[in-house]
């Protein structure tokens, strides 16, 4: 394939070198004349292990050239890859000027493509907010191509390259994410990545666009969290290195997808209690752990969010069935259960609430479990159904599903609001 790359920085130049290594013809386009001159001599303008060798090989066999502006070559290019920067603006949002400028240039140059050529695939790798492909980029191409826009395939393909290991990351990425207009596969992108083995996700634009935000924010969170734990350990005379080794050894829970699924708030007898205790320890020692300090506030905000989502289409006075009250399924532990808080909010909101949780038997609750449940939800006995069929004569308007099995309930038709998996 013949590929044009716009913006030849770390991402663009690594992509160019690897595509050359795969046997493609590549044109690098960058406004910086010095970078262009260096690349045309087979020299990498940035230091990245392995780039010089791959770039020089492409120049020597005539498959790579660089320039500062789009030329007539766009008429026979198969793929255009946009890797220009999206730096932070004054308000913290991405500055999309360079994306818009390059999009205008590509759209203009593509107007000269022959009608019998395959559609031009324009791939964006720059990080941008969800909606950018639909609201900014697609309208630019629509302006130049109108009803012939089917001659242009717009793709969003986030990159997962780390500086200093970029070439290795290109060939062994953690995943390949391809965003298309209808969420269907792109034949050109499938061909481009045919030799790379990695989990593949072909999705809509917005899901692909938000991927880097989620990944990078989580990476930042991990670093901040680890450093906060380190500060606490040091102030308490604990080996942070040893604590880290113990923590990462647990790949069943600590380093796993188990607690990373968007859904219900956390609760139970352990997590809230231990977070409070760690927050207290941090404040007492002066460790200043702002991430840890915010965990419980974030959890409370999520409880409010779940309530608002559950009743957004339900008028006060309507009958609501809360399917599940314990903090997790197959348990009768009500201590700090977010669903106890949800039940209280529903009652305060004027809803006719009933609760179904076959594992919860008020007469069997003991100790702190008993004390917590009746101090926070004294109406529990009256609200809890002994038999789900007691509601058959008056079906609920909505079922808020905390257990994940509301589809098994014996009602003719249900409006089910899931909690543990957000849509």
Return the number of other C-beta atoms located less than 10 Å from residue 173's C-beta: 18
For residue 65, the surrounding DSSP H or E stretch is strand 64-67
Residue (of 7, 278, 279, 53) closest to 159 by Cα position: 7
**What is the rounded distance in angstroms from the CA atom of residue 207 to the CA atom of residue 177?**
9
**What is the rounded distance in angstroms from the CA atom of residue 132 to the CA atom of residue 97?**
12
**What is the rounded distance in angstroms from the CA atom of residue 249 to the CA atom of residue 17?**
37
**What is the rounded distance in angstroms from the CA atom of residue 28 to the CA atom of residue 46?**
14
Burial 288-316 (b: 16+ CB within 10 A, else e): ebebbbebeeebeebbeebbeebbeebee
| Both tokens assigned to 179 | 């965003």
How far does CA 368 lie from the centroid of its chain? 38
- 240-245: which pairs have CB atoms within 8 A and are 24 or more residues apart? none
Kindly name the residue from 18, 83, 233, 270 that is annotated as catalytic: 270
**What is the rounded distance in angstroms from the CA atom of residue 198 to the CA atom of residue 175?**
5
Known catalytic residue: 18? no
**What is the rounded distance in angstroms from the CA atom of residue 315 to the CA atom of residue 415?**
14
| Both tokens assigned to 238 | 């604990």
Catalytic residues: 270
């Amino acid at each position: 394939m013949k590929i044009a790359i716009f913006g030849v920085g770390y991402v663009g130049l690594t992509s160019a070198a690897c595509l050359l290594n795969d046997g493609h013809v590549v044109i690098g386009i960058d406004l910086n004349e010095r970078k262009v001159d260096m690349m045309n001599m087979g020299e990498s303008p940035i230091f990245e292990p392995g780039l010089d060798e791959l770039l020089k090989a492409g120049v020597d066999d005539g498959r790579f050239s660089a320039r500062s502006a789009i030329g007539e070559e766009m008429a026979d290019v198969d793929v255009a890859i946009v890797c220009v920067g999206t730096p932070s603006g004054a308000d913290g949002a991405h500055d999309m000027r360079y994306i818009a400028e390059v999009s205008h240039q590509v759209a203009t140059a593509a107007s000269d493509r022959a009608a019998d050529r395959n559609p031009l695939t324009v791939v964006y790798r720059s990080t941008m907010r969800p909606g950018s492909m639909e609201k900014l980029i697609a309208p630019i191409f629509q302006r130049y191509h109108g009803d012939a826009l089917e001659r242009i395939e717009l793709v969003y393909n986030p990159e997962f390259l780390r500086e200093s290991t970029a070439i290795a990351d290109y060939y062994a990425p953690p995943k390949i994410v391809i965003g298309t207009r209808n969420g269907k596969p792109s034949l050109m992108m499938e061909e481009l990545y045919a030799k790379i083995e990695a989990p593949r996700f072909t999705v809509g634009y917005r899901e692909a666009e938000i991927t880097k935000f989620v990944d990078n924010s989580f990476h930042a969170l991990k670093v901040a969290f680890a450093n906060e734990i380190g500060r606490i350990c040091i102030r308490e005379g604990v080996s942070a290195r040893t604590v880290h080794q113990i923590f990462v050894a647990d790949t069943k829970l600590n380093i796993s997808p188990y607690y990373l699924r968007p859904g219900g708030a956390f609760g139970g007898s352990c997590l809230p209690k231990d977070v409070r205790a760690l927050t207290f320890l941090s404040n007492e020692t002066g460790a200043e752990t702002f991430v840890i300090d915010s965990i419980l506030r974030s959890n409370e905000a999520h409880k409010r969010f779940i309530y608002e989502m559950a009743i957004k289409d339900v008028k006060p006075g309507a009958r609501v069935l809360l399917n599940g009250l314990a903090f997790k399924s197959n348990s009768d532990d009500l201590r700090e259960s977010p669903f106890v808080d949800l039940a209280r909010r529903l009652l305060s909101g004027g809803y006719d609430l009933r609760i179904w949780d076959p594992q919860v038997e008020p007469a069997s609750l003991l100790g702190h479990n008993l004390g917590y449940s009746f101090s926070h939800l004294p109406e529990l006995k009256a609200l809890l159904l002994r038999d789900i069929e007691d509601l058959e004569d008056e079906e609920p308007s909505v079922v808020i599903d905390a257990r994940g099995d509301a589809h098994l309930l014996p009602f003719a038709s249900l409006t089910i609001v899931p909690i543990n998996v957000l849509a």
